[in-house]
Amino acid sequence: MTRPLFRAGKRLWLKKHDAEFRRLYPHLPSVEVAKRMERSLAAVYGHAGKLGLMKSAAYLASPAACRLRRGDNVGARFRFPKGHVPANKGLRRPGYSVGRGRMQETQFKKGQPTRWMPVGSTRLGGGYLYRKVSDIRNVTWTRNWKQDHVLVWEAAHGPLPTGHVVAFVNGDRTDIRLENLEVVHRRELARRNSIHRLPAELKSAVMAIGRLTRAIRRRTKAHEEQDRRSA
């Protein structure tokens, strides 16, 4: 077959490749299909899913499918026999019982969710410190967890005005001192985070890279469309 074309580092699936893929995939092992199509096994599975292809009934009933079937009982020698006793049955690990080691101190209690944390606990997320303020079940995590710097500001000044956010004066998200917090409108925060706050030379470089990236994408898309029409 013709070797697949490359665009932007990826191998293209053209119509002529799809036709051969539809002919091979239902009747051959996926490893063999990958070899013939000069693709990775992951690419074969992904494209079969995209095209909605399944293995044929004849293939699934053949030895090549290596499925658990009556008669030859594939895989029987690798399974535990009926009545097998686990090697660790009845064994107690150090610290399991009361008074032996500290294992019980860190064991999950009966009925306790494995990821549960008490009210007042803290966690990091997206570079911000969050604090658990409630323990309401079956709600989004943002109902129970609030950004710690927002809680500090609201404790001193009251509810945050609509459309405003709490920002860090020195830009350090870990510095949650009240004097390092200020309230700004979301539009102001967006302006601060845009490229317009950068030095002129750096701003020009970022914009030039953006234009180059867009040009490459347009050229790549044009080549792909041309290849599809000529296939």
Tell me the pLDDT tens digit for each residue of 141-187. 888 999 999 999 999 999 999 999 999 988 888 889 999 999 999 98
pLDDT band at 5 (very low <50, low <70, confident <90, very high): low
State the Cα–Cα distance between residues 45 and 86, nearest whole angstrom: 37
Higher pLDDT, 88 or 97: 88
Q: Would you say residue 107 lies in a domain?
A: no
**Same-domain check for residues 133 and 179:** yes
pLDDT band at 8 (very low <50, low <70, confident <90, very high): very low
Q: Which residue has the tokens 């499925």?
A: 67
Closest alpha carbon to 166 in 120, 196, 128? 128
State the Cα–Cα distance between residues 78 and 82, nearest whole angstrom: 12
Q: For residue 164, what are the β-bridge partners?
A: 185
What's the structural domain count of the chain?
A: 3
Q: What range does the domain containing 211 cover?
A: 197-230
**What is the pLDDT, as a whole number, of residue 154?**
93
Residues contacting residue 130 through CB under 8 Å, at least 6 positions apart: 122, 123, 124, 145, 146, 147, 148
Q: For residue 167, what are the β-bridge partners?
A: 182
Q: Would you say residue 60 lies in a domain?
A: yes
Q: Would you say residue 104 lies in a domain?
A: no
User: pTM value?
Assistant: 0.41
**Same-domain check for residues 155 and 178:** yes
CA 223 to chain centre: 31
**Same-domain check for residues 202 and 188:** no
**Same-domain check for residues 155 and 217:** no
Q: For residue 10, what are the β-bridge partners?
A: 7
